[in-house]
Amino acid sequence: MLDRIKDALKDSMKRRDADRTSALRMLLAEIGRVQATPAGAKSDAQQVTQTYAKGLRKSAEEYRKLGETARAEAIEREMKVIEEFLPRRLSPEETAAAVERILREHSITEPKQMGQAMKLVMGELGGQVDGREVQALIKSRLGG
């Protein structure tokens, strides 16, 4: 994945795409920063990219709440570049079907099994789903 990001950076620099180049440089800097720490040394580029994208999403939401639409739009453009390197996100319907299947396969039926269910679903689907969406689906399914 790191090689794909570096190749995309070289390409964007050749095409003089300043926004894309900036977004990719920021991502590479974040990956380097995280992996340079003792705790982050075990992190792979995909984990760092997912965390970085999540932070960008939250920032864009906050700027929208504050009425700073220009800043939110700039962050969203950066997010589109970053998301090219993430696994495809599942649609809400695909997510619901996957959650149902996992709960059924593991015979999870009680609200007290919420933690176990989250661990199983997120372990299998990882970066393809939003944790908040999964949590809401499991809660509604288990009645919690």
Per-residue pLDDT of the chain (144 residues; tens, 9 = 90+): 889 999 999 999 999 999 999 999 999 999 988 888 887 667 788 888 888 998 999 999 999 999 999 999 999 999 999 989 888 888 889 989 999 999 889 988 888 888 888 898 888 887 788 888 888 999 988 876
Contact 17, 9 (CB under 8 A): no
Percent of the residues in the chain that have a pLDDT greater than 70, as a whole number = 98
- pTM for the complete prediction? 0.70
Give CA–CA dist 33/109, Å, rounded: 42
Predicted confidence at residue 131, as pLDDT, reads 82
Length, in residues, of the chain: 144
Give CA–CA dist 52/81, Å, rounded: 12
Domains and CATH numbers, the chain: 2-83 (1.10.1510.10), 92-142 (1.10.10)
Predicted confidence at residue 45, as pLDDT, reads 83
